Amino acid sequence: MADKLLRVDVEQPAKANLPKRVSYSQMSLYQQCGLKYFFSYIDGWREPPTSALAGGSITHEVVEHLYRLAPEDRTLEAAMELLREHGPRMLKAAE
């Protein structure tokens, strides 16, 4: 019986939508379930946001923007302004 050969074209590597950075959350999710990581970060599937997720996202975005300011500008008033600026958009996304 003759051996069968499989010919594979390796000229064009498969395109993958791989992230340029990997966060702790991404690594943790990959450890929990590689398939869920694939669907979430490679395929881009997202669960619909809940009000709790929206609240966490708003808080994260406000703190992130706050820490881009000079230390003397990181005030409660600045945080409240950022919350007024970013909060409504993110709450609307959770509806």
pLDDT (average), residues 54-62: 85
Nearest in space to 38 (alpha carbons), one of 22, 23, 18 = 18
| Structural contact between residues 58 and 90, judged by C-beta atoms closer than 8 angstroms | yes
Q: What is the pLDDT of residues 10-28, one digit of tens each?
A: 666 666 666 678 889 899 9
pTM assigned to the model: 0.46
Instruction: Indicate if the pLDDT at residue 62 is higher than 70.
Output: yes
User: What pLDDT is recorded for position 14?
Assistant: 65
Whole-number pLDDT of residue 17: 66
Q: Report pLDDT digits (tens) over 78-91.
A: 999 988 888 787 76
Calculate the dihedral angle through the C-alpha atoms of 27, 32, 35, 38, rounding to the nearest 10 degrees. Answer: -20
